[in-house]
Amino acid sequence: MSALSQCIQSARASYASSSSSSSSLKNKRGARCRSKKINHHHRKLTTIITRAEGESNRKTSGTTRAVVVTSGKGGVGKTTSSANLGMSMARLGYSVALVDADIGLRNLDLLLGLENRVVYTAMEVLEGECRLEQALIRDKRWRNLALLPISKNRQRYNVTRDNMNTILDLLKKSDFDFIFIDCPAGIDLGFINAISNAEEAIVVTTPEITAIRDADRVAGLLEANGILDVRLLVNRVRADMIKNNDMMSVKDVQEMLGVPLLGAIPEDTEVIVSTNRGEPLVLKKKLTLAGIAYENAARRIVGKQDFLIDLDQPKKGIFQNIKEFFTGEDLD
Ligand SMILES: Nc1ncnc2c1ncn2[C@@H]1O[C@H](COP(=O)(O)OP(=O)(O)OP(=O)(O)O)[C@@H](O)[C@H]1O
Ligand SMILES: [Mg+2]
């Protein structure tokens, strides 16, 4: 085990112990009111999940949907979104492959807590050293979720478009309902390779002008490459800043880009905690707002009714503030 892996392991161990003590502290402080509201929605979700559990591990639709998660600008939340959407889809009962196309700078394994289990990658599959099934890392929590790292040590330019196409073809022939491809930052070769065999795209942006301009460029490139089914995920939204006119609203961002809205994810410090623990937000017992927003976006991907639709009803407090960016229906 490398020194870095050991550091990650010990950091994870300390997070695990601090989480149990902080949760008991939280109980003592009686932060029950907010949890109660969130849990109301979580309970609804749990019902859906329970129904879906029995459906896991089988291909549900007959065709595989290959969705590339991309952005243009780096660091806006592609990997966080891929991990959370993939996990949510698995919890909804779909069979999901997450492809880490950020070659050389892979992160998805860390976010999913699977970093110690990367033995083979897609490159070994292509070189005939192992079977696809051996390179797919099945999540222990949800066996219908699998991660496929493309490469452990190569640079982007070592992986050709043909390589990516072959990998995607192999995955499409396997038993997956969804393939989510976590794209590298930028619009160079890594991006072109990552989108080459996808039929759908999720463009992630933050409500900042630099990210929006890059998202616009990416949306154009996707269209030019024949990917017409494109949806927008606005990440790191802050209701307080929107209220003070310090941040563009989700509606403004969506109108600037002219791409249908898949969802909006609030800024949430729990994202950092969940990354450090290797547990996507959507696995938390008490979902935070960002976790709910990811679950909501996942349901919209499969065209299910938005389970947060009743947020249209007058609500008090934080739910009222975030109503606009959760309920994207009228923006589509
Ligand atoms: N909703 C959020 N709230 C708070 N922090 C977030 C949120 N989404 C992402 N982050 C943080 O932003 C940083 C970048 O996220 P992430 O790695 O998912 O972006 P990326 O687009 O994949 O980056 P890259 O282009 O480098 O691959 C991370 O530190 C992550 O924890
Ligand atoms: Mg990333």
Q: For ligand 2, a single-atom ion, which residues have Cβ within 5 Å?
A: 78-79
| pLDDT tier, 188 (very low <50, low <70, confident <90, very high otherwise) | confident
The answer to whether residue 79 scores a pLDDT higher than 50 is yes
Ligand 1 center–CA 209 separation, angstroms: 17
pLDDT at 60: 55
30 C-alpha to ligand 2 centroid (Å):
36
Residue nearest to atom 25 of ligand 1 (CA): 74
Domain ranges (residues) in the chain: 1-60, 63-312
| Token pair belonging to 116 | 């110690």
Ligand of minimum distance to the alpha carbon of 204: 1
Q: Alpha-carbon distance 262 to 202, whole Å?
A: 8
**Could you tell me the distance, in angstroms and rounded to a whole number, from the CA of residue 78 to the centre of ligand 2?**
5
Task: Give nearest CA residue, ligand 1 atom 8.
Answer: 77
Query: How sure is the predictor about 156, in pLDDT bands with cuts at 50, 70 and 90?
Result: low
Q: What does the pLDDT look like over 273-298, one tens digit per residue?
A: 999 999 999 999 889 999 999 999 99
Question: What is the whole-number distance in angstroms between the Cα of residue 183 and the centre of ligand 1?
Answer: 13
How would you class 186 by CB atoms within 10 Å of its CB: exposed for 0-12, middle for 13-18, buried for 19 or more? middle
The model's pTM is 0.81
CA distances from 58 to 52, 61, 65, 145, 175 (A): 11, 9, 15, 11, 7
Helix (H, G, I), strand (E, B) or coil at 328: coil
Order of strands across the sheet that contains 145-149: 137-138, 145-149, 96-100, 178-182, 65-70, 200-205, 229-237, 261-266
182, 186, 188, 190 alpha-carbon torsion, rounded to 10°: -20
Task: Please name every residue paired with 69 in a beta bridge, in sequence order, or none if there are none.
Answer: 182, 202
Interval 36-77: pLDDT, tens: 444 444 434 443 433 343 344 445 556 899 999 999 899 999
Tokens at residue 281, please? Answer: 């937000």
* Minimal-distance CA residue to ligand 1 atom 16: 77
d(CA 97, CA 57): 12
Q: What is the pLDDT of residue 265?
A: 94
> Nearest ligand, CA of residue 80?
1
Instruction: Return the ligand 1 atom nearest residue 269 CA.
Output: 4
List the one residue out of 115, 88, 83 whose CA is nearest residue 98: 83
284 Cα–ligand 1 center, Å: 18
Q: Which of 73, 76, 78, 80 to mutate to test the pocket of ligand 1 (most atoms within 8 A of CB)?
A: 80
Q: Which helix (H) or strand (E) holds 181?
A: strand 178-182
Pocket-forming residues, ligand 1, beta carbon under 6 Å: 71, 74-80, 102, 107, 185, 235-236, 265, 267-268, 271-272, 275, 290
| 63-312 homologous superfamily | P-loop containing nucleotide triphosphate hydrolases (3.40.50.300)
Q: Is the pLDDT of residue 28 over 60?
A: no
For ligand 1, atom 29, which residue shows the shortest CA distance? 272
pLDDT at 35 over 90: no
In a 3-state reduction of DSSP, which class is residue 137?
A: strand
46/143: higher pLDDT: 143
Nearest atom of ligand 1 to the alpha carbon of 290? 1
Tell me the pLDDT tens digit for each residue of 224-251.
999 999 999 999 999 999 989 999 999 9
